[in-house]
Amino acid sequence: MNVIDTALKTVAQPSLINTYFKRVSRDKIILLLILLLLTGVLLLFVVAPLLSILSSSIFNSDGQFVGVANFLLYFSSAALWFSVKNSFTLGIVVTAIVGSLAFFYAFALTRSCMPFKGLFKVLGMAPILAPSLLPAISLIFLFGNQGIAKELLLGNSVYGFIGISIGLVFWTFPHALMILSTSLSTSDARLYESAKALKTSSFKTFFVITLPAAKYGLISTLIVIFTLVICDFGVPKVIGGSYNVLATDIFKQVVGQQNFSMAAVVSLLLLLPALLAFAVDRWVQKKQQNLFDSRSVPYQPSPQPVRDSICFIYCLLISLMVLIILGMAVYGSLVTFWPWNKALSFNHYNFAEMSAYGWSPFWNSLQLGSWTALIGTLFIFVGAYSMEKSRSFTVLRRTLQMLSLLPMAIPGMVLGLGYIFFFNHIDNPLNILYGSMLLLALNTVIHYYTVGHMTAVTALKQLPAELESSAASIKLPQYKLFYKVTLPVCLPAVLDIAAYLFINALTTTSAVIFLYSTDTIPASVSVLNMSDAGQTGSAAAMAVMIMCAALFAKIVHLLLYNFFEKSTQGWRQK
CA 333/CA 541 separation, integer angstroms: 5
Domains in the chain, CATH or no CATH each: 24-74+352-574 (1.10.3720.10), 77-289+298-345 (1.10.3720.10)
pLDDT at 338: 86
Helix boundaries (H) for 126-188:
133-143, 161-184
Per residue in 320-335, pLDDT (tens digit) is 999 999 999 999 999 9
pLDDT at 569: 61
Least confident of 12-16, 134-138, 475-479: 12-16
Per residue in 410-446, pLDDT (tens digit) is 888 889 889 988 998 888 898 899 889 999 999 999 9
Give the confidence band of 297 by pLDDT, cuts at 50, 70, 90: low
Query: DSSP letters of 275-341?
Result: HHHHHHHHHHHHH------TT--B--PPP-HHHHHHHHHHHHHHHHHHHHHHHHHHHHHHEEETTTE
CA 278/CA 266 separation, integer angstroms: 19
Give the confidence band of 288 by pLDDT, cuts at 50, 70, 90: low
Give the confidence band of 228 by pLDDT, cuts at 50, 70, 90: confident
> Among 362, 385, 395, which Cα is nearest to 507's?
362
pLDDT top residue among 571 and 170: 170
Per residue in 345-387, pLDDT (tens digit) is 999 999 888 778 889 999 999 999 999 999 999 999 998 888 8
Specify which residues 344 forms β-bridges with.
335
Does pLDDT of 313 surpass 90?
Answer: yes
**Are the C-beta atoms of 224 and 281 separated by less than 8 Å?**
yes
CA 202/CA 172 separation, integer angstroms: 30
CA 348/CA 104 separation, integer angstroms: 38
**Are the C-beta atoms of 274 and 230 separated by less than 8 Å?**
yes
CA 312/CA 301 separation, integer angstroms: 15
CA angle 202, 204, 207 (to 5 degrees): 110
Give the amino acid at 144: G
Per residue in 233-285, pLDDT (tens digit) is 889 998 988 888 988 888 888 887 778 888 888 888 888 888 888 788 777 76
**Are the C-beta atoms of 496 and 401 separated by less than 8 Å?**
no
CA 65/CA 171 separation, integer angstroms: 41
> Among 422, 379, 423, which Cα is nearest to 404's?
379
The values of phi and psi at residue 104, to 5°, are -70, -30
> Among 91, 33, 70, which Cα is nearest to 225's?
91
The pTM assigned to this predicted structure is 0.86
What is the overall mean pLDDT for the chain? Answer: 83
CA 191/CA 352 separation, integer angstroms: 62
Per residue in 39-86, pLDDT (tens digit) is 999 999 999 999 999 888 888 777 778 788 888 888 887 777 888 899
CA 169/CA 191 separation, integer angstroms: 34
Torsion of CA 19, 20, 22, 28, to 10 degrees: -170
Helix boundaries (H) for 13-77:
16-23, 26-42, 48-57, 69-75
Cβ atoms within 10 A of the Cβ of 96, count? Answer: 13
